[in-house]
Amino acid sequence: MYPDRKEYVDLMRSTQHMDEDQSKTLADTYDSVYIHPESYTCASLAVGSVLQLVDKVMTSELQNGFSVAR
């Protein structure tokens, strides 16, 4: 069973301070997920860029948009 959203975000935030063995153990609990100490930062930047795109479309600064974020 996966944790709720807040627990999941907190868990991913904690990966910034995990050593390699802890990261691998956590990654092994998910399918096809690689965890690195910078994973949380990269995910935060990806989410932020998508939200900026949505804001620009919603305020008609852009007509449409496309984001490739993993």
Structure tokens at 28: 């092994």
Q: Could you give the angle at the alpha carbon of 26 between the alpha carbons of 24 and 27, nearest 5°? A: 60
Q: What is the chain's pLDDT, residue by residue, as a tens digit (70 residues)?
A: 566 889 988 999 999 999 999 999 999 988 888 898 999 999 999 999 999 999 999 999 999 999 988 7
Q: Is the whole model's pTM more than 0.75, yes or no?
A: no
Q: Are 27 and 35 in contact (CB under 8 A)?
A: yes
